[in-house]
């Protein structure tokens, strides 16, 4: 491991200033992803600015009925929080589907959003990777691509985003609160992560020195009828081949509204707006669920080894929507 400087931030403004003062400085939260990358030699920052003790570790109700989740709230605490479990079960389920109990006890909301791809080529410094070394090439293209993207990939990168929590937050129209060089601003979670394009090294739209302080989840009364379903190679501590976060608003057997996002299929959590549009105003039947899935998946472009993700995504979405419809019937 290379030498680096370390400092503990006393407040958010000081943390931002410390990172802005050094081009190779980075924030350190729980470190569940960052420390792995330090050990692997993927990154070599000159300074770590510890923000883990900043006062962003609470979940608070908002006057308009939503909730604000501090960036330092631990994943395990967020999953178990009574407001999250009651109002946003898809978010609680997504958190519990991630990593292991030990990691959930340490990982934070802000860090979870910013975790980087688990593409094996990205994590192996001996192989070319445009995300790690821009211009070096993408070893996954023409290589082992079973776990990779079927939406939004480019000739520079076909990696997928690993977060489960982010998929649920995208479906819920959550907004990230960021403090940076020019003060505070808000970014919808759906716009936080980037598709690779010709700059796959940029995972998000954040700039150097931007610090996530909180995530706001808007009020959505019918999000109580929501869930998260994850398909993976192992029952735990494995990343999604395909996952679905979904909420349905049904009245008299008709879908009034829907929120759907996929995980494991793109460089970012994939909001399934085509499927949502196809569902609104239709009968809540398995046939219509399948048709909505087909509408969304028509744009999928699989790699050599992962075409199975298309029928898998269809099956998972239909099963998830059927489950939510059965909840309504009960």
pLDDT tens for each residue of 65-118: 999 999 999 999 999 999 999 999 999 999 999 999 999 999 999 999 999 999
Structure tokens at 292: 């909505």
Confidence class for position 327, pLDDT limits 50, 70, 90? confident
Q: In 3D, which of 268, 270, 265, 260 has the Cα closest to residue 115?
A: 268
Confidence class for position 2, pLDDT limits 50, 70, 90? confident
pTM of the model: 0.97
Q: Are 158 and 184 in contact (CB under 8 A)?
A: no
The architecture that CATH gives domain 5-50 is 2-Layer Sandwich (3.30)
Give the mean pLDDT of 188-216. 98
**CATH C-level class of 227-329:** alpha beta
pLDDT tens for each residue of 227-264: 999 999 999 899 999 999 999 999 999 999 999 999 99
Confidence class for position 330, pLDDT limits 50, 70, 90? low
pLDDT for the residue numbered 1: 60
Cβ partners under 8 Å of residue 293, min gap 6 = 275, 313, 314, 317, 318
Q: What are the structural domain ranges in the chain?
A: 5-50, 227-329
């Amino acid at each position: 491991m290379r030498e680096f400087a370390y400092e503990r931030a006393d407040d958010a403004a000081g943390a931002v200033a410390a990172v802005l003062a050094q081009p190779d400085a980075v924030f350190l939260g729980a470190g569940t992803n960052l420390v792995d990358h330090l050990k692997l030699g993927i990154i070599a920052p000159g300074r770590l600015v510890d923000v883990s003790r900043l006062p962003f570790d609470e979940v608070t109700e908002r006057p308009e009925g939503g909730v604000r989740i501090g960036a330092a709230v631990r994943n395990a605490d967020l999953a178990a929080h009574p407001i999250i479990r009651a109002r946003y079960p898809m978010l609680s389920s997504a958190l519990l589907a991630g990593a292991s109990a030990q990691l959930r006890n340490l990982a934070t909301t802000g860090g979870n959003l910013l975790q980087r791809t688990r593409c094996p080529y990205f994590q192996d410094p001996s192989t070319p990777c445009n995300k790690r070394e821009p211009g070096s090439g993408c070893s996954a293209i023409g290589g082992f691509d079973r776990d990779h993207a079927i939406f939004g990939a480019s000739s520079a990168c076909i990696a997928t985003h690993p977060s489960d929590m982010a998929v649920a937050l995208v479906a819920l129209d959550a907004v990230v609160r960021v403090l940076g060089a020019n003060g505070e601003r808000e970014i919808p979670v759906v716009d936080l992560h980037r598709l690779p394009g010709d700059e796959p090294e940029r995972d998000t739209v954040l700039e150097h020195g931007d610090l996530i302080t909180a995530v706001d989840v808007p009020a959505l009364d019918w999000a109580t009828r929501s869930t998260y379903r994850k398909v993976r190679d192992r029952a735990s501590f494995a990343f999604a081949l395909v996952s679905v976060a979904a909420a349905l608003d049904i009245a008299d057997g008709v879908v009034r509204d829907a929120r759907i996002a996929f995980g494991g299929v793109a460089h970012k959590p994939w909001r399934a707006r085509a499927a949502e549009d196809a569902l609104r105003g239709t009968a809540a039947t398995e046939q219509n669920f399948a048709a909505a899935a087909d509408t969304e998946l028509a744009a999928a472009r699989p790699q050599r080894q992962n075409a199975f993700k298309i029928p898998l995504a269809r099956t998972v979405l239909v099963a998830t929507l059927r489950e939510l419809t059965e909840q309504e019937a009960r």
